[in-house]
Structure 1
Amino acid sequence: MAVLTGVGRARGIAAAIATGLAEDGWDLALTHWTPYDRRLGIGGGREDVTAVAEQARALGATVTTIEADLADADAPRAVLAEASAAGDVRALVMSHSESIDSGILDTSVEAWDRHFAVNSRASWLLIKHFAELLPDAPSVATTGRIVALTSDHTAFNLPYGASKGALDRLVQAAAVELGPRGVRANLVNPGPIDTGWMDDAIRAACLAETPAGRLGTPADTADLVRFLLSDRGGWISGQVLHSNGAFHVG
Protein backbone atom coordinates (compact mmCIF):
# COMPACT_ATOMS: atom_id res chain seq x y z
CA MET A 1 0.00 0.00 0.00
CA ALA A 2 1.24 3.48 -0.93
CA VAL A 3 -0.17 6.66 0.61
CA LEU A 4 -0.26 9.42 -2.01
CA THR A 5 -1.24 12.94 -0.99
CA GLY A 6 -2.52 15.81 -3.11
CA VAL A 7 -4.62 13.92 -5.65
CA GLY A 8 -6.99 16.79 -6.31
CA ARG A 9 -7.02 17.15 -10.09
CA ALA A 10 -7.20 14.57 -12.87
CA ARG A 11 -4.58 16.43 -14.91
CA GLY A 12 -2.21 16.87 -11.96
CA ILE A 13 1.11 15.21 -11.21
CA ALA A 14 -0.36 13.15 -8.37
CA ALA A 15 -2.99 11.68 -10.70
CA ALA A 16 -0.26 10.43 -13.05
CA ILE A 17 1.64 9.01 -10.09
CA ALA A 18 -1.49 7.22 -8.89
CA THR A 19 -2.15 5.43 -12.17
CA GLY A 20 1.55 4.67 -12.63
CA LEU A 21 1.82 3.07 -9.20
CA ALA A 22 -1.36 1.11 -9.86
CA GLU A 23 0.28 -0.27 -13.02
CA ASP A 24 3.23 -1.30 -10.88
CA GLY A 25 1.00 -3.28 -8.53
CA TRP A 26 0.65 -0.85 -5.62
CA ASP A 27 -2.60 -0.50 -3.73
CA LEU A 28 -3.31 3.13 -2.92
CA ALA A 29 -4.65 5.52 -0.31
CA LEU A 30 -5.24 8.88 -2.02
CA THR A 31 -5.72 12.12 -0.10
CA HIS A 32 -7.32 15.33 -1.36
CA TRP A 33 -8.80 18.56 -0.02
CA THR A 34 -11.62 19.93 -2.17
CA PRO A 35 -11.74 23.46 -0.62
CA TYR A 36 -8.14 24.02 -1.73
CA ASP A 37 -8.86 22.87 -5.29
CA ARG A 38 -11.83 25.23 -5.45
CA ARG A 39 -9.76 28.09 -4.05
CA LEU A 40 -7.14 27.64 -6.78
CA GLY A 41 -9.82 27.87 -9.45
CA ILE A 42 -8.11 25.61 -12.01
CA GLY A 43 -10.32 22.57 -11.70
CA GLY A 44 -10.29 19.49 -9.53
CA GLY A 45 -12.35 18.23 -6.64
CA ARG A 46 -14.21 15.09 -5.68
CA GLU A 47 -15.21 14.20 -9.24
CA ASP A 48 -11.60 14.26 -10.37
CA VAL A 49 -10.48 12.19 -7.38
CA THR A 50 -13.21 9.64 -8.12
CA ALA A 51 -12.08 9.45 -11.74
CA VAL A 52 -8.43 8.91 -10.77
CA ALA A 53 -9.42 6.24 -8.24
CA GLU A 54 -11.51 4.43 -10.85
CA GLN A 55 -8.62 4.47 -13.32
CA ALA A 56 -6.34 2.95 -10.68
CA ARG A 57 -8.94 0.31 -9.79
CA ALA A 58 -9.26 -0.60 -13.45
CA LEU A 59 -5.52 -1.32 -13.37
CA GLY A 60 -6.02 -3.75 -10.48
CA ALA A 61 -5.36 -1.56 -7.46
CA THR A 62 -7.37 -1.43 -4.27
CA VAL A 63 -7.97 2.27 -3.69
CA THR A 64 -9.05 4.22 -0.61
CA THR A 65 -9.81 7.95 -0.95
CA ILE A 66 -9.40 10.23 2.05
CA GLU A 67 -10.42 13.89 2.23
CA ALA A 68 -8.11 15.65 4.67
CA ASP A 69 -7.11 19.22 5.41
CA LEU A 70 -3.40 18.79 6.09
CA ALA A 71 -3.29 22.21 7.74
CA ASP A 72 -4.93 20.41 10.68
CA ALA A 73 -2.19 18.95 12.87
CA ASP A 74 -4.35 15.90 13.60
CA ALA A 75 -4.95 15.07 9.93
CA PRO A 76 -1.68 13.23 9.14
CA ARG A 77 -2.22 10.71 11.94
CA ALA A 78 -5.81 10.15 10.81
CA VAL A 79 -4.68 9.65 7.19
CA LEU A 80 -2.11 7.01 8.13
CA ALA A 81 -4.56 5.29 10.47
CA GLU A 82 -7.21 5.02 7.73
CA ALA A 83 -4.68 3.90 5.13
CA SER A 84 -3.15 1.26 7.39
CA ALA A 85 -6.60 -0.12 8.15
CA ALA A 86 -6.92 -0.82 4.41
CA GLY A 87 -3.50 -2.41 3.90
CA ASP A 88 0.17 -2.68 4.86
CA VAL A 89 1.56 0.82 4.19
CA ARG A 90 5.10 0.65 2.79
CA ALA A 91 5.36 3.85 0.76
CA LEU A 92 4.56 7.52 1.29
CA VAL A 93 4.47 9.90 -1.68
CA MET A 94 3.83 13.53 -0.74
CA SER A 95 2.45 15.56 -3.65
CA HIS A 96 0.23 17.91 -1.64
CA SER A 97 0.92 21.62 -1.36
CA GLU A 98 -0.35 25.02 -0.39
CA SER A 99 0.70 27.44 -3.13
CA ILE A 100 -0.46 31.04 -3.34
CA ASP A 101 1.85 33.55 -5.04
CA SER A 102 3.13 36.38 -2.84
CA GLY A 103 6.42 38.01 -1.92
CA ILE A 104 8.20 39.64 0.98
CA LEU A 105 6.01 42.74 1.04
CA ASP A 106 2.58 41.23 0.46
CA THR A 107 2.65 37.85 2.24
CA SER A 108 0.32 37.76 5.22
CA VAL A 109 1.14 35.99 8.46
CA GLU A 110 -1.91 33.79 7.92
CA ALA A 111 -0.69 32.73 4.47
CA TRP A 112 2.85 32.11 5.77
CA ASP A 113 1.59 29.94 8.60
CA ARG A 114 -0.73 27.93 6.36
CA HIS A 115 2.05 27.25 3.83
CA PHE A 116 4.32 25.94 6.55
CA ALA A 117 1.50 23.98 8.18
CA VAL A 118 0.65 22.16 4.94
CA ASN A 119 3.98 21.92 3.12
CA SER A 120 6.31 21.40 6.09
CA ARG A 121 4.56 20.44 9.33
CA ALA A 122 2.11 18.03 7.71
CA SER A 123 4.96 16.40 5.79
CA TRP A 124 6.95 15.89 9.00
CA LEU A 125 3.92 14.38 10.72
CA LEU A 126 3.11 12.14 7.75
CA ILE A 127 6.69 10.84 7.80
CA LYS A 128 6.55 10.36 11.57
CA HIS A 129 3.30 8.40 11.54
CA PHE A 130 4.41 6.43 8.48
CA ALA A 131 7.63 5.42 10.26
CA GLU A 132 5.64 4.32 13.28
CA LEU A 133 3.94 1.71 11.08
CA LEU A 134 7.23 0.16 9.93
CA PRO A 135 9.40 -2.46 11.63
CA ASP A 136 11.49 -0.91 14.40
CA ALA A 137 14.47 -3.25 14.02
CA PRO A 138 17.57 -2.44 11.92
CA SER A 139 17.34 -3.74 8.36
CA VAL A 140 19.61 -3.77 5.32
CA ALA A 141 16.57 -4.44 3.13
CA THR A 142 14.27 -1.65 1.99
CA THR A 143 11.28 -1.64 4.35
CA GLY A 144 9.74 1.70 3.42
CA ARG A 145 9.98 4.37 0.75
CA ILE A 146 9.35 8.11 1.00
CA VAL A 147 9.22 10.50 -1.95
CA ALA A 148 8.24 14.17 -1.73
CA LEU A 149 7.73 16.66 -4.55
CA THR A 150 9.68 19.85 -4.00
CA SER A 151 10.44 23.13 -5.76
CA ASP A 152 13.18 25.74 -6.04
CA HIS A 153 10.81 28.72 -6.11
CA THR A 154 11.97 31.72 -4.12
CA ALA A 155 11.07 35.28 -5.18
CA PHE A 156 7.39 36.19 -5.55
CA ASN A 157 6.34 32.74 -4.39
CA LEU A 158 8.01 33.20 -1.05
CA PRO A 159 6.00 31.18 1.50
CA TYR A 160 5.67 28.28 -0.93
CA GLY A 161 9.39 28.23 -1.72
CA ALA A 162 10.47 28.69 1.88
CA SER A 163 8.20 25.90 3.11
CA LYS A 164 9.44 23.61 0.33
CA GLY A 165 13.00 24.38 1.45
CA ALA A 166 12.05 23.14 4.91
CA LEU A 167 10.52 20.05 3.29
CA ASP A 168 13.85 19.29 1.62
CA ARG A 169 15.67 19.27 4.93
CA LEU A 170 13.16 17.10 6.75
CA VAL A 171 13.06 14.45 3.99
CA GLN A 172 16.86 14.32 3.93
CA ALA A 173 16.78 13.98 7.72
CA ALA A 174 14.39 11.05 7.31
CA ALA A 175 16.87 9.37 4.96
CA VAL A 176 19.52 9.54 7.68
CA GLU A 177 17.45 8.90 10.79
CA LEU A 178 15.26 6.16 9.32
CA GLY A 179 17.82 4.68 6.93
CA PRO A 180 19.08 2.08 9.42
CA ARG A 181 15.50 0.76 9.58
CA GLY A 182 15.42 0.25 5.81
CA VAL A 183 13.68 3.49 4.81
CA ARG A 184 14.72 5.25 1.61
CA ALA A 185 13.71 8.92 1.36
CA ASN A 186 14.14 11.26 -1.61
CA LEU A 187 12.81 14.45 -3.14
CA VAL A 188 11.84 15.07 -6.76
CA ASN A 189 11.90 18.57 -8.25
CA PRO A 190 9.83 18.32 -11.44
CA GLY A 191 10.40 21.84 -12.70
CA PRO A 192 7.55 23.66 -14.48
CA ILE A 193 4.76 21.31 -15.55
CA ASP A 194 1.54 22.66 -17.00
CA THR A 195 -1.25 21.11 -14.99
CA GLY A 196 -3.67 23.92 -15.73
CA TRP A 197 -1.95 26.94 -14.21
CA MET A 198 0.12 28.15 -17.19
CA ASP A 199 -0.92 30.76 -19.74
CA ASP A 200 0.70 31.13 -23.17
CA ALA A 201 3.32 33.57 -21.92
CA ILE A 202 4.40 31.30 -19.08
CA ARG A 203 4.56 28.30 -21.40
CA ALA A 204 6.76 30.18 -23.83
CA ALA A 205 9.07 31.45 -21.08
CA CYS A 206 9.47 28.01 -19.51
CA LEU A 207 10.03 26.36 -22.88
CA ALA A 208 12.75 28.91 -23.72
CA GLU A 209 14.66 27.82 -20.59
CA THR A 210 14.27 24.07 -21.17
CA PRO A 211 17.12 22.71 -23.32
CA ALA A 212 15.28 19.40 -23.79
CA GLY A 213 12.95 21.25 -26.14
CA ARG A 214 9.58 20.61 -24.54
CA LEU A 215 7.77 21.18 -21.27
CA GLY A 216 7.65 18.40 -18.73
CA THR A 217 4.52 16.31 -18.27
CA PRO A 218 2.97 14.70 -15.19
CA ALA A 219 4.03 11.32 -16.61
CA ASP A 220 7.69 12.43 -16.60
CA THR A 221 7.52 12.96 -12.85
CA ALA A 222 5.49 9.81 -12.30
CA ASP A 223 8.14 7.73 -14.08
CA LEU A 224 10.83 8.86 -11.65
CA VAL A 225 8.62 8.33 -8.60
CA ARG A 226 7.79 4.83 -9.85
CA PHE A 227 11.50 4.05 -10.17
CA LEU A 228 12.27 5.33 -6.68
CA LEU A 229 9.54 3.12 -5.24
CA SER A 230 10.75 0.08 -7.16
CA ASP A 231 13.37 -2.41 -6.05
CA ARG A 232 15.74 -0.96 -8.65
CA GLY A 233 15.58 2.42 -6.91
CA GLY A 234 16.28 1.04 -3.47
CA TRP A 235 19.89 2.26 -3.25
CA ILE A 236 19.00 5.91 -3.86
CA SER A 237 18.32 7.87 -0.69
CA GLY A 238 18.72 11.37 0.71
CA GLN A 239 18.72 12.98 -2.73
CA VAL A 240 17.02 15.95 -4.36
CA LEU A 241 16.53 14.75 -7.95
CA HIS A 242 15.79 17.28 -10.70
CA SER A 243 13.54 15.76 -13.37
CA ASN A 244 13.13 18.85 -15.52
CA GLY A 245 14.83 18.55 -18.92
CA ALA A 246 17.71 20.77 -17.69
CA PHE A 247 15.31 23.65 -17.05
CA HIS A 248 17.12 26.83 -16.02
CA VAL A 249 20.47 25.06 -15.64
CA GLY A 250 22.54 27.19 -18.00
Structure 2
Amino acid sequence: MTEDEGTPGDAGSGDAHERPVALVTGAGRLAGIAAGIAVRLATDGFDVATTHWSPYDERMPWGRQTADVERLGEKLRAAGARTLAVEADLSLPGTPGDVFDAVNERMGPVTVLMMCHAESVDSDLLSTSVESFDRHFAVNTRSSWLLVREFAQRMERPDGSARIIALTSDHTTFNLPYGASKGALDRIVLAAARELAHLRLTANVINPGPIDTGWMSHELRHDLTAKTPAGRLGQPGDTASLVSFLCSPGGEWINGQLLCSDGGINS
Protein backbone atom coordinates (compact mmCIF):
# COMPACT_ATOMS: atom_id res chain seq x y z
CA MET A 1 0.00 0.00 0.00
CA THR A 2 1.33 3.44 -0.92
CA GLU A 3 -0.04 6.92 -0.49
CA ASP A 4 -0.47 8.70 -3.80
CA GLU A 5 1.93 11.59 -4.24
CA GLY A 6 0.24 14.91 -4.84
CA THR A 7 -2.86 14.59 -2.68
CA PRO A 8 -1.69 13.31 0.74
CA GLY A 9 -0.04 16.60 1.62
CA ASP A 10 -3.37 18.35 1.43
CA ALA A 11 -4.67 16.41 4.40
CA GLY A 12 -2.42 17.24 7.27
CA SER A 13 -2.02 20.90 8.11
CA GLY A 14 -2.53 20.29 11.83
CA ASP A 15 -5.44 22.74 11.97
CA ALA A 16 -8.75 21.75 13.50
CA HIS A 17 -11.39 20.85 10.95
CA GLU A 18 -15.10 20.54 11.51
CA ARG A 19 -15.73 18.55 8.33
CA PRO A 20 -16.35 14.84 8.91
CA VAL A 21 -14.21 12.34 7.02
CA ALA A 22 -15.49 9.95 4.36
CA LEU A 23 -13.41 7.04 3.05
CA VAL A 24 -14.36 6.07 -0.52
CA THR A 25 -12.70 2.92 -1.85
CA GLY A 26 -12.15 2.05 -5.49
CA ALA A 27 -11.75 5.61 -6.81
CA GLY A 28 -9.10 5.04 -9.46
CA ARG A 29 -11.03 6.34 -12.47
CA LEU A 30 -12.51 9.80 -12.83
CA ALA A 31 -15.36 8.31 -14.87
CA GLY A 32 -16.23 5.78 -12.18
CA ILE A 33 -19.05 5.69 -9.67
CA ALA A 34 -16.64 6.07 -6.77
CA ALA A 35 -15.26 9.34 -8.12
CA GLY A 36 -18.77 10.72 -8.59
CA ILE A 37 -19.65 9.79 -5.01
CA ALA A 38 -16.42 11.27 -3.67
CA VAL A 39 -17.07 14.63 -5.35
CA ARG A 40 -20.66 14.69 -4.11
CA LEU A 41 -19.58 13.98 -0.53
CA ALA A 42 -16.97 16.73 -0.76
CA THR A 43 -19.66 19.11 -1.97
CA ASP A 44 -21.84 17.99 0.95
CA GLY A 45 -19.16 19.05 3.42
CA PHE A 46 -17.01 15.97 3.93
CA ASP A 47 -13.26 15.66 3.77
CA VAL A 48 -12.62 12.69 1.49
CA ALA A 49 -9.98 9.98 1.51
CA THR A 50 -9.92 7.55 -1.40
CA THR A 51 -8.27 4.28 -2.35
CA HIS A 52 -7.30 2.97 -5.78
CA TRP A 53 -5.27 0.09 -7.19
CA SER A 54 -3.57 0.82 -10.50
CA PRO A 55 -2.57 -2.80 -11.35
CA TYR A 56 -6.26 -3.70 -11.51
CA ASP A 57 -6.97 -0.91 -14.00
CA GLU A 58 -4.04 -2.09 -16.10
CA ARG A 59 -5.73 -5.49 -16.47
CA MET A 60 -9.04 -3.97 -17.56
CA PRO A 61 -10.06 -2.72 -21.04
CA TRP A 62 -9.85 0.96 -20.04
CA GLY A 63 -6.24 0.63 -18.85
CA ARG A 64 -4.43 2.57 -16.17
CA GLN A 65 -5.72 6.12 -15.83
CA THR A 66 -2.49 7.70 -14.65
CA ALA A 67 -3.72 11.25 -14.13
CA ASP A 68 -7.20 10.47 -12.82
CA VAL A 69 -6.30 10.20 -9.14
CA GLU A 70 -4.73 13.65 -9.13
CA ARG A 71 -7.58 15.09 -11.20
CA LEU A 72 -10.06 13.70 -8.71
CA GLY A 73 -8.03 15.25 -5.90
CA GLU A 74 -8.27 18.61 -7.66
CA LYS A 75 -12.05 18.30 -7.83
CA LEU A 76 -12.26 17.41 -4.15
CA ARG A 77 -10.06 20.33 -3.16
CA ALA A 78 -12.14 22.66 -5.33
CA ALA A 79 -15.15 21.59 -3.28
CA GLY A 80 -13.35 22.60 -0.09
CA ALA A 81 -12.29 19.14 1.05
CA ARG A 82 -9.03 17.89 2.41
CA THR A 83 -7.98 14.81 0.42
CA LEU A 84 -5.85 11.73 0.78
CA ALA A 85 -5.37 9.15 -1.99
CA VAL A 86 -4.06 5.75 -0.93
CA GLU A 87 -2.98 3.09 -3.42
CA ALA A 88 -4.16 -0.09 -1.77
CA ASP A 89 -4.14 -3.76 -2.80
CA LEU A 90 -7.31 -4.91 -1.06
CA SER A 91 -6.63 -8.54 -1.98
CA LEU A 92 -4.18 -8.56 0.95
CA PRO A 93 -5.71 -9.09 4.42
CA GLY A 94 -3.48 -6.47 6.07
CA THR A 95 -4.44 -3.66 3.70
CA PRO A 96 -7.72 -2.50 5.33
CA GLY A 97 -5.92 -1.84 8.60
CA ASP A 98 -3.13 -0.01 6.78
CA VAL A 99 -5.68 2.17 4.96
CA PHE A 100 -7.39 3.17 8.20
CA ASP A 101 -4.01 3.86 9.82
CA ALA A 102 -3.13 6.26 6.98
CA VAL A 103 -6.50 8.02 7.01
CA ASN A 104 -6.67 8.34 10.80
CA GLU A 105 -3.13 9.72 10.97
CA ARG A 106 -3.55 12.30 8.23
CA MET A 107 -7.24 13.21 8.41
CA GLY A 108 -8.76 11.91 11.62
CA PRO A 109 -11.44 9.29 12.35
CA VAL A 110 -13.70 8.12 9.54
CA THR A 111 -17.43 8.91 9.75
CA VAL A 112 -18.55 7.40 6.43
CA LEU A 113 -17.20 4.17 4.96
CA MET A 114 -18.24 4.04 1.30
CA MET A 115 -17.11 0.81 -0.39
CA CYS A 116 -16.99 0.99 -4.19
CA HIS A 117 -13.94 -1.22 -4.84
CA ALA A 118 -14.36 -4.37 -6.89
CA GLU A 119 -12.60 -7.15 -8.74
CA SER A 120 -14.75 -7.80 -11.81
CA VAL A 121 -13.71 -10.26 -14.50
CA ASP A 122 -16.43 -12.06 -16.45
CA SER A 123 -16.40 -15.86 -16.39
CA ASP A 124 -18.97 -18.62 -16.01
CA LEU A 125 -19.34 -21.81 -13.97
CA LEU A 126 -17.13 -23.80 -16.31
CA SER A 127 -14.46 -21.25 -17.19
CA THR A 128 -13.78 -19.61 -13.80
CA SER A 129 -10.36 -20.48 -12.41
CA VAL A 130 -9.73 -21.11 -8.73
CA GLU A 131 -7.28 -18.20 -8.74
CA SER A 132 -9.90 -15.80 -10.13
CA PHE A 133 -12.59 -17.08 -7.75
CA ASP A 134 -10.30 -16.56 -4.75
CA ARG A 135 -9.22 -13.10 -5.92
CA HIS A 136 -12.83 -11.95 -6.31
CA PHE A 137 -13.74 -13.10 -2.81
CA ALA A 138 -10.55 -11.63 -1.33
CA VAL A 139 -11.27 -8.18 -2.83
CA ASN A 140 -15.05 -7.98 -2.93
CA THR A 141 -15.93 -9.91 0.20
CA ARG A 142 -13.06 -10.39 2.64
CA SER A 143 -11.65 -6.89 2.34
CA SER A 144 -15.12 -5.41 2.79
CA TRP A 145 -15.60 -7.38 6.00
CA LEU A 146 -12.18 -6.24 7.23
CA LEU A 147 -12.90 -2.61 6.33
CA VAL A 148 -16.19 -2.76 8.25
CA ARG A 149 -14.40 -4.32 11.21
CA GLU A 150 -11.69 -1.64 11.23
CA PHE A 151 -14.34 1.06 10.97
CA ALA A 152 -16.26 -0.33 13.94
CA GLN A 153 -13.24 -0.98 16.12
CA ARG A 154 -11.86 2.53 15.63
CA MET A 155 -15.07 4.47 16.13
CA GLU A 156 -14.52 7.08 18.83
CA ARG A 157 -17.85 8.87 19.31
CA PRO A 158 -21.02 7.01 18.34
CA ASP A 159 -23.31 9.96 17.69
CA GLY A 160 -25.65 8.64 15.02
CA SER A 161 -23.75 10.12 12.08
CA ALA A 162 -21.69 7.07 11.09
CA ARG A 163 -22.56 5.33 7.84
CA ILE A 164 -21.51 2.13 6.09
CA ILE A 165 -22.56 1.90 2.44
CA ALA A 166 -21.47 -0.61 -0.20
CA LEU A 167 -22.16 -0.99 -3.91
CA THR A 168 -23.39 -4.39 -5.01
CA SER A 169 -24.67 -6.15 -8.12
CA ASP A 170 -27.35 -8.70 -8.99
CA HIS A 171 -25.25 -10.38 -11.67
CA THR A 172 -25.51 -14.15 -11.72
CA THR A 173 -25.11 -15.95 -15.05
CA PHE A 174 -21.78 -15.75 -16.87
CA ASN A 175 -20.34 -13.70 -14.02
CA LEU A 176 -19.86 -16.32 -11.32
CA PRO A 177 -17.04 -14.97 -9.14
CA TYR A 178 -18.17 -11.35 -9.28
CA GLY A 179 -21.84 -12.03 -8.64
CA ALA A 180 -21.23 -14.60 -5.92
CA SER A 181 -18.72 -12.41 -4.08
CA LYS A 182 -21.06 -9.41 -4.25
CA GLY A 183 -23.89 -11.52 -2.84
CA ALA A 184 -21.69 -12.40 0.12
CA LEU A 185 -20.79 -8.73 0.53
CA ASP A 186 -24.48 -7.91 0.89
CA ARG A 187 -24.83 -10.23 3.87
CA ILE A 188 -21.82 -8.71 5.63
CA VAL A 189 -23.05 -5.13 5.32
CA LEU A 190 -26.64 -5.96 6.25
CA ALA A 191 -25.42 -7.87 9.30
CA ALA A 192 -23.54 -4.74 10.40
CA ALA A 193 -26.82 -2.84 10.72
CA ARG A 194 -27.80 -5.09 13.65
CA GLU A 195 -24.51 -6.35 15.04
CA LEU A 196 -23.12 -2.82 15.27
CA ALA A 197 -26.33 -1.18 16.46
CA HIS A 198 -24.57 -0.16 19.69
CA LEU A 199 -22.43 2.19 17.56
CA ARG A 200 -25.53 4.04 16.34
CA LEU A 201 -24.50 3.63 12.71
CA THR A 202 -26.49 2.71 9.63
CA ALA A 203 -25.39 0.10 7.10
CA ASN A 204 -26.95 -0.22 3.66
CA VAL A 205 -26.19 -1.71 0.26
CA ILE A 206 -26.94 -0.04 -3.07
CA ASN A 207 -27.47 -1.86 -6.34
CA PRO A 208 -26.89 0.95 -8.86
CA GLY A 209 -27.80 -1.04 -11.95
CA PRO A 210 -25.84 -0.46 -15.18
CA ILE A 211 -24.02 2.85 -14.83
CA ASP A 212 -22.40 4.41 -17.88
CA THR A 213 -18.75 4.65 -16.92
CA GLY A 214 -17.20 3.67 -20.23
CA TRP A 215 -17.27 -0.12 -19.99
CA MET A 216 -20.25 -0.86 -22.27
CA SER A 217 -20.15 -1.79 -25.92
CA HIS A 218 -22.35 0.15 -28.35
CA GLU A 219 -24.74 -2.80 -28.58
CA LEU A 220 -25.02 -3.15 -24.81
CA ARG A 221 -25.58 0.58 -24.36
CA HIS A 222 -28.44 0.46 -26.86
CA ASP A 223 -30.00 -2.64 -25.27
CA LEU A 224 -29.84 -1.32 -21.71
CA THR A 225 -31.14 2.10 -22.69
CA ALA A 226 -34.15 0.47 -24.32
CA LYS A 227 -34.83 -1.56 -21.16
CA THR A 228 -34.78 1.44 -18.82
CA PRO A 229 -38.12 3.23 -18.34
CA ALA A 230 -36.44 6.65 -18.38
CA GLY A 231 -34.87 5.90 -21.76
CA ARG A 232 -31.35 6.64 -20.61
CA LEU A 233 -28.45 4.94 -18.88
CA GLY A 234 -27.55 5.59 -15.27
CA GLN A 235 -24.80 8.10 -14.45
CA PRO A 236 -22.45 8.17 -11.43
CA GLY A 237 -24.36 11.20 -10.17
CA ASP A 238 -27.53 9.13 -9.89
CA THR A 239 -25.87 6.81 -7.39
CA ALA A 240 -24.14 9.72 -5.67
CA SER A 241 -27.48 11.40 -5.01
CA LEU A 242 -28.72 8.39 -3.04
CA VAL A 243 -25.44 8.14 -1.14
CA SER A 244 -25.72 11.83 -0.29
CA PHE A 245 -29.17 11.31 1.20
CA LEU A 246 -28.14 8.22 3.16
CA CYS A 247 -25.24 10.17 4.67
CA SER A 248 -27.46 13.08 5.66
CA PRO A 249 -29.41 13.32 8.93
CA GLY A 250 -32.55 12.62 6.92
CA GLY A 251 -31.15 9.23 5.87
CA GLU A 252 -30.72 7.93 9.41
CA TRP A 253 -33.97 5.95 9.40
CA ILE A 254 -32.93 3.86 6.39
CA ASN A 255 -30.91 0.98 7.79
CA GLY A 256 -30.15 -2.63 6.95
CA GLN A 257 -31.52 -2.31 3.41
CA LEU A 258 -30.51 -3.45 -0.05
CA LEU A 259 -31.64 -0.51 -2.16
CA CYS A 260 -32.12 -0.65 -5.94
CA SER A 261 -31.21 2.67 -7.54
CA ASP A 262 -31.34 1.45 -11.11
CA GLY A 263 -33.91 3.58 -12.92
CA GLY A 264 -36.40 0.73 -12.85
CA ILE A 265 -34.50 -1.53 -15.24
CA ASN A 266 -35.13 -4.52 -12.97
CA SER A 267 -38.79 -3.74 -12.32
**Superposition pairs of residues 236-247 of structure 1, within 5 angstroms:** 236-247=254-265
Post-superposition Cα deviations, 1:123-164, rounded to whole Å, max 9, x if no partner, equal: 00000001111148xx6x414100000000000011000000
What's the TM-score, normalizing by structure 1? 0.96
Matching of residues 155-194 of structure 1 within 5 Å: 155-194=173-212
Report deviation, 1:47.
1.2
Matched, 1:13 2:45: no
The answer (yes or no) to whether the contact 1:212–1:245 under 8 Å persists in 2 is yes
The alignment partner of 1:90 has SS state of strand
After the TM superposition, which residues 127-166 of structure 1 pair with which residues of structure 2 at under 5 Å, given as runs?
127-135=148-156, 141-166=159-184
Partner of 2:249: 231
* Residues in 2 aligned to 1:204 and 1:248: alpha-carbon distance in whole angstroms: 16
Give the CA RMSD over aligned residues.
1.2
Question: 1:206 aligns to what?
Answer: 224
For structure 2, the residue ranges without an aligned partner over 5 or more in a row are 1-20
Unaligned runs of 5+ in 1: none
Deviation at 1:213, TM superposition (A): 1.6
Q: How does 1:61-100 map to 2 (within 5 A)?
A: 61-85=81-105, 86-100=107-121
Alpha carbons 2:152, 2:199 under 8 Å: kept: no
**Residues 71-112 of structure 1, C-alpha deviation per residue, up to 9 Å, x if partnerless?**
010000000111111222111000000000000000000000
Deviation at 1:178, TM superposition (A): 0.7
1:114 and 2:97 correspond: no
Contact 2:109 2:155 in 1 (8 A): no
Deviations 1:191-222 (A, max 9, x none): 00121110111011111221122111000001
Where does structure 1 differ by over 3 angstroms across 4 or more consecutive aligned residues?
A: 43-46
Q: Is the 8 A contact 1:33 1:45 kept in 2?
A: no
- What is the alpha-carbon distance in structure 1 between the residues aligned to residue 194 and residue 173 of structure 2? 30
Identity of aligned residues (%): 54
The answer (yes or no) to whether the contact 2:206–2:260 under 8 Å persists in 1 is yes
Letter aligned with residue 110 of structure 2:
V
Counterpart code for 1:154:
T
